Homo-oligomer: A and B are copies of this chain.
Amino acid sequence: MPPHPDPAEISLQQVLEALVDPVRRQIVRELHAAGEDLRCGVIDLPVSKSTATHHFNVLREAGLIRQYYVGTSRMNALRRDEVERAFPGLLALVAADTPSGAQLSGVG
């Protein structure tokens, strides 16, 4: 399994590059909401398998998730504490975001 960056090596630049993509924010949101590690497959992404792999890689290289194998499945773990320590409040912003811009409950 390719290397994970040390907590101290996580850069804001790379984290922002990772989080600027809506698909990758969706992954982070679902991991955050689930509260547990998830296999790649259980996250329903609007892209092909190869593209999904790409997105998971970007998140891992940015230091946002940790990946490990379980059988033929790859598990994904949100690096909550480390990210929170490096960038306080960042995960909360992503988690609170509403992809379809439906944050206005009284819309319509």
Using C-beta atoms within 8 Å of the partner chain, give the interface range for chain A. Answer: 20 to 34
Contact B94 A93, beta carbon cutoff 8 Å: no
How many identical chains are in the complex? Answer: 2
The winner among A12, A22, A93 for most chain B CB atoms within 10 A is: A12
Residues of A within 8 A of B (CB): 8, 11-13, 16-17, 19-20, 22, 25, 87-90, 92-94, 97, 101, 104
* Additional A-B contacts beyond A12-B93, A89-B92 (8; CB < 8 A): A8-B104, A12-B25, A12-B94, A13-B22, A16-B16, A16-B19, A17-B20, A87-B93
- Report chain B residues within 8 Å CB of A90: 89-90, 93
Contact B89 A93, beta carbon cutoff 8 Å: yes
